[in-house]
Structure 1
Amino acid sequence: MAKKTVAEVESGGHEVDNMKWVYDSSVDHKGRIPSRPSTGSWKASFFIIAIEFSERLSYFGIATSLVIYLTKVMHEDLKTAAKNVNYWTGVTTLMPLIGGFLADAYLGRYFTVFVSCIVYLLGLVLLSMSWYLPGLKACDAAICTKPRKVHEVVFFLAIYLISVGTGGYKPSLESFGADQFDDEHGRERRQKMSFFNWWNCGLCSGLILGVTLVVYVQDHVNWGAADVILTGVMALSLVIFLVGRPFYRYRAPTGSPFTPMLQVLVAAISKRNLPYPSDPSQFYQVPKSQSTNARLLCQTQKLKFLDKAAILENNDGSSSAENQSPWKLATVTKVEEMKLIINMIPIWIFTLPFGLCVAQTSTFFIKQGTTLNRDIVLNNNNTFQLPAASIYTLSAIGMIIAVTIYDRILVPFFRKLTGNERGITILQRIGFGMMFSVSTMIIAALVEHRRLQVVHTNPAKGSLSMSVFWLAPQFLVIGFGDGFTLVGLQEYFYDQVPDSMRSLGIALYLSVIGAANFLSSWVITIVDNVTEKSGKSWFGKDLNSSRLDKFYWLLAAITTVNLFVYVFFARRYTYKNVQKVAVADSCEGKSDHNAAHGTKV
């Protein structure tokens, strides 16, 4: 039997075989209705998870050692290097807002990933050239006291090209992977819930190799050799992505998602004086006679002012309503999509302090590792020195442990206990992980206080008498937090945004980390200025002249207060309430599969 085109199904009114065909607005690589057995699901997402593994290997191979490169090769002081790392990480995780918008509105997710991968490759090639080309090298001497200006320019240009590539790559790739599962098919919907967990296992596996193998090459060979390896890995990931093309399900871009929101706002303002109807039939929804694949949203009782945009006035018949300008009359679904974005704002804001804690792992935590004893005794009294950035591996291990326990043990247990398809709600998962961030900062403060005591007791040897594995608890605990909060944020921002904004939704998740990195730099600046005026800055020339323990206690206090505020807003959050147009007789009592059995955490 020949595959059906979208036009044939929609115009001919054929009954869709749910077991054989996927009827969710997606198409296969030839523009036809996708065959369920041969496209999508795990068979396609495994290609995409493999690509994420490769990309994260490259990214963390650079990111975790960046503060060391800036202090050792660029000879920046600790404070300046930490700020530069935070700025770069911030840009890298905010750029997806642009990439996600372009993917959703104009380019499509597949093409955005392809173009972004090329830009990423250019950045890695330039990074390799900055180490090997004589005219671009830091200097000709074995040890540089000050790098050439041209090296600084090319180096920063290269890493910011990687930022641009990541900006399109990250939001599009993850949302493209989640698109491979059909929300209206029970088995695939449950698979999608697991997808985000196993996506992060692939991510962490790449991270582990990045901060062990790649960092080892940086420490024991040179930085340029590591850059060449990363360039080859990214080229391989592009090949893998292209090989999987026949197995993917694709969604066409739908134009700017912000225009309908502006239309809702304009229509609501123009109808602000109309009385609020008591009859639900007086609100305009897409008529049942209109065939569409789009999912409809049920009306909620929050932000009722916006509901006025969907009021049918006395002269609005069903036929005349369809012909009205969208700037004067919006559907209930468009109004509810506007509400979804507004309701996300407090959640986005009150997850920033978690990102503030995460920002310390790639700056101060790594720098702490350089001051501790990293020698590992092998057989016959031989020793191996662990690269400082490799301690970051414990964070990834913690995340893998948390995700595995959550997916295989906690979700099945809580499904039976609560009757919720997810086990616990998404916001509960996020809040649970935020408790780990508080614990991380407390542990980090205690360990740093101990390190400073050792330095004070034995200034000659410093903290070399302490093992680097004193840092293990803080890395493991923040990894546990990542397994709940970061994975939960990915699922939340993908699931709860309008269907047409899912790449932008993943970008919103990434922007939490990006904004938190900028916030971290600002907090460092403010704390530095305030403590300097009071006597001695908490941030000295190096760690031994700093008081990071006090800074960590401050972050612990901030995250504790923030957790209570987050719970206040999360308990009042209403999840997306979806139903297909084919059964849109009434929204009463119906709830979205993805937020089943309850709208509050």
Structure 2
Amino acid sequence: MDEKPELSARTPLLSVAAHERTPSRNISINRIKEVTVQRYNVCTLSVFLILATVFCEQFAFFSVLHNMVLFCTSKLDFTSFEATMTCWIFSGTVYMVTPLVGGYLADSLCGRYKTILGSGFIFVIGKILLFFSAGDFKSWSGYDREDVTKALFLTSLVVISIGSGGIQANIIPFGAQHVSHMGPRAVQTFCHWYYWARNIGSIASAGVVYLQQGTKQFCWGYLMSLLILVVGLVIFRVGKRTYKHVPPSESVLKKAITMCWKMRRRDRGQFNMSQFETSNIYDVKNVLKSLPTYGFITVYWMSYAQMSTSLFLQSTELDLSIDGVNIPPAFLIYFNPAMVVLCIPLMDTIIYPLLIKCGKGPTYLQRIGIGMFLAVLALCYAGGLEIFRKQHEQFVQESTNISYNASSISVFHQVPVFALLGLSEVWTSITGLEFAYTNFPDYMQGLITGLFLMTIGLGSVYSIILTAIVQRAKPEYSGLRWVIDIRAQNWYPNDPAANGHMEVLFFLIAGITFVFMLIFVFVTKFGYTSTQEDSRTQFVGSHNKLNSENT
């Protein structure tokens, strides 16, 4: 009887009854350290092919995302506000809507392999439409139709969101199932290298972005990324015989919704517990208990969503010249994935194992909190830089044939912003993936992955709502305080030559994130009780299962 509270404290999101269904977890801390620092070779042929597919898919995806604001403003004559909204709606659709549909198809109808391959073909169709939307209709057909261009572009975004979302929702659990037999530490390592391949794809897409923003040849840049995507699908198809194919079964999402609906009627005596397996009931309860954690992560993604939109617009208003040659405005964005690529091997092979060996390994919740704090620092720096920018001499800067009211401050002053956001991603985002694979059974990992991707989409939705609200409230700086005045400038400048007041938006989002971070710290400190030993146990997660199999 005395052991139950202790077990519940070690993994607070798992109930006591859930522990009764698993092997004994009473192991020594020395054994935990031994298992934690053990290395796993996850670089099998199937995993390599999956990671290569991730690289190609993310190359194609980020070549669209990182150029969207510029394409909308220069090619389609959108205002900065309209371009930003378009980018966030696209991101929200990719990460929030289609992962649920793609996960359902993979779980209950097609299986993960067929769903990924089918989503890839849909992605290709979307990229073809995007290529034609970026083309020069006047030279191709003899007349210029802006309405056709906009219709093709928006249609391509819908198709791309379906294809990319279907791939991203399934390729993580599909890859993890190839290393799950090696134990949870191998799954965590795969999550790290998945994220590494994802960000390598983002960095590689910089060449396409440079071509598009430097020469304004959007169609050829999109064609290049289309070819890379086709190569990725060929690579994925070649590995069919090496993959583990899990046949579809009843959808976990459908089962969970049915169970929750019937449990609502328990107080009226209409819930028959024998309809479901006891383990399934406890697993669904654990998912519900994890929702607050993912709720806090959504606020983090609202901060992160500024990178391809608000921070990009800030780049256009800083001095882009290096020895008289202008660099593309999106160039600084790639310091973010570069930081991730550098930090992942360092954290996975040195820092985390060393911290655990010293008995100071941070818990999942602590790592998420650290990432949120780094995001707050990044946006506060961006807000301060925006104020600093306006205090210096300004000049008209030509970039991609558009005139911007730029400051004499170098754009490289933005490097700390993107570096901090990249570091925060290592602490928060990758931890969210690890959390899904070490606290829940295998059959629920697809559902948890969908929930994790939904947090990214919800972050974009929150950004849309917040920006739409504050766009109507036009602040004016008077003395030492901000005054809301309908006669003042918009927060998002509609004219590239206007300044706007984006510093207020940066500080507002940083403040919201900071408040939620404090609530998160309070909840994790007083909502869950853990000792130093428990923290290390939670950090290694389900290593205990591997431990019990070896003893």
TM-score grouping bracket, smaller chain normalisation? 0.7 to 0.9
1:424 match: secondary structure: coil
Partner residue, 1:539: 492
Partner residue, 2:187: 192
- Give, in whole Å, the separation in 1 of the partners of 2:520 and 2:72: 36
2:494 match: secondary structure: coil
Partner residue, 1:425: 363
Partner residue, 1:164: 162
User: Does the C-alpha gap of structure 1 residues 225 and 416 become closer, same or farther in structure 2, counting only changes over 3 Å?
Assistant: same
Conservation of the 8 A alpha-carbon contact between 1:90 and 1:517: yes
Q: CA deviation at 1:593?
A: 7.0
Which one of the candidate residues 385, 390, 408 is aligned to 1:465? 408
Matched, 1:235 2:230: yes
Q: CA deviation at 1:267?
A: 5.9
Q: Cα deviation per residue 1:333-356 (whole Å; 9 max; x = unaligned)?
A: 111121122112211211122111
Which one of the candidate residues 408, 413, 417 is aligned to 1:474? 417
Partner residue, 2:541: 594
Partner residue, 1:565: 519
User: Percent identity of the aligned residues?
Assistant: 24
- Give, in whole Å, the separation in 1 of the partners of 2:352 and 2:322: 38
- Give, in whole Å, the separation in 2 of the partners of 1:522 and 1:271: 37
Conservation of the 8 A alpha-carbon contact between 2:95 and 2:165: yes
Matched, 1:519 2:522: no
Q: CA deviation at 1:130?
A: 2.5
- Give, in whole Å, the separation in 2 of the partners of 1:130 and 1:477: 35
Q: CA deviation at 1:592?
A: 11
- Give, in whole Å, the separation in 2 of the partners of 1:473 and 1:481: 12
2:322 match: secondary structure: strand
Conservation of the 8 A alpha-carbon contact between 2:439 and 2:541: no
Matched, 1:556 2:510: yes
Which one of the candidate residues 264, 276, 295 is aligned to 1:349? 295
User: Does the C-alpha gap of structure 1 residues 546 and 470 become closer, same or farther in structure 2, counting only changes over 3 Å?
Assistant: same
Q: CA deviation at 1:425?
A: 2.8
1:444 match: secondary structure: helix
Per the normalisation by structure 2, the TM-score is: 0.80
Matched, 1:50 2:52: yes
- Give, in whole Å, the separation in 2 of the partners of 1:386 and 1:97: 39
Matched residue type, 1:531 = K
User: Does the C-alpha gap of structure 1 residues 375 and 335 become closer, same or farther in structure 2, counting only changes over 3 Å?
Assistant: same
User: Does the C-alpha gap of structure 1 residues 134 and 79 become closer, same or farther in structure 2, counting only changes over 3 Å?
Assistant: closer
Matched residue type, 1:172 = N
Q: CA deviation at 1:241?
A: 0.2
Partner residue, 1:107: 110
2:244 match: secondary structure: coil
Matched residue type, 1:68 = L
Conservation of the 8 A alpha-carbon contact between 1:99 and 1:112: yes
Alignment of structure 1 residues 274-353 onto 2, 5 Å = 310=273, 326=275, 330-353=276-299
Partner residue, 1:223: 218
Partner residue, 1:62: 64
Matched residue type, 2:491 = W
Residue-pair matches, total? 479
User: Does the C-alpha gap of structure 1 residues 338 and 386 become closer, same or farther in structure 2, counting only changes over 3 Å?
Assistant: same
User: Does the C-alpha gap of structure 1 residues 418 and 309 become closer, same or farther in structure 2, counting only changes over 3 Å?
Assistant: farther
Asked which structure has the greater CA Rg, the reply is 1
Conservation of the 8 A alpha-carbon contact between 1:218 and 1:226: no
Conservation of the 8 A alpha-carbon contact between 1:347 and 1:569: no
1:250 match: secondary structure: coil
Which one of the candidate residues 311, 314, 319 is aligned to 1:373? 319
Q: Cα deviation per residue 1:246-287 (whole Å; 9 max; x = unaligned)?
A: 22112222212244335544664565488xxxxxxxxxxxxx
Q: Cα deviation per residue 1:356-379 (whole Å; 9 max; x = unaligned)?
A: 1111000011112122222223xx
- Give, in whole Å, the separation in 1 of the partners of 2:136 and 2:472: 41
Alignment of structure 1 residues 176-215 onto 2, 5 Å = 176-183=174-181, 185-186=182-183, 189-215=184-210
- Give, in whole Å, the separation in 1 of the partners of 2:142 and 2:394: 36
Partner residue, 1:261: 256
2:406 match: secondary structure: helix
Question: Which 5+ residue runs of structure 1 have no aligned equivalent?
Answer: 1-38, 142-146, 275-305, 311-323, 378-382, 576-589
- Give, in whole Å, the separation in 1 of the partners of 2:154 and 2:140: 13
- Give, in whole Å, the separation in 1 of the partners of 2:43 and 2:320: 44
Conservation of the 8 A alpha-carbon contact between 2:51 and 2:194: yes
Q: Cα deviation per residue 1:464-511 (whole Å; 9 max; x = unaligned)?
A: 422110111101110101111111122223444453232232222121
Higher helix share: 2
- Give, in whole Å, the separation in 1 of the partners of 2:91 and 2:261: 37
Matched residue type, 2:492 = F
Higher relative contact order (CA 8 A, sep 6+): 2
Per the normalisation by structure 1, the TM-score is: 0.74
Partner residue, 1:30: none
